[in-house]
Amino acid sequence: MNRFEIAGLTVDMDPHMSMLKNRARHYANHKAGEADITIPYREEWYREKSKLHPTLTFEENEYVWSGEEFYLKLLLFRGFMLHASAVVYDGNAYLFSAPSGTGKSTHT
Helix axes 43-52, 58-74, angle to 10 degrees: 110
The yes-or-no verdict on residue 104 having pLDDT over 80 is: no
The string of pLDDT tens digits covering residues 41-99 is: 999 999 999 999 999 999 999 999 999 999 999 999 999 998 888 899 999 999 988 88
The yes-or-no verdict on residue 27 having pLDDT over 80 is: yes
**Residue 20 pLDDT:** 97
Lowest mean pLDDT among 3-7, 29-33, 71-75: 29-33
Q: What is the mean pLDDT of residues 25-41?
A: 95
Those residues with Cβ within 8 angstroms of residue 94's Cβ, 6 or more apart along the chain or in another chain: 86, 87, 88
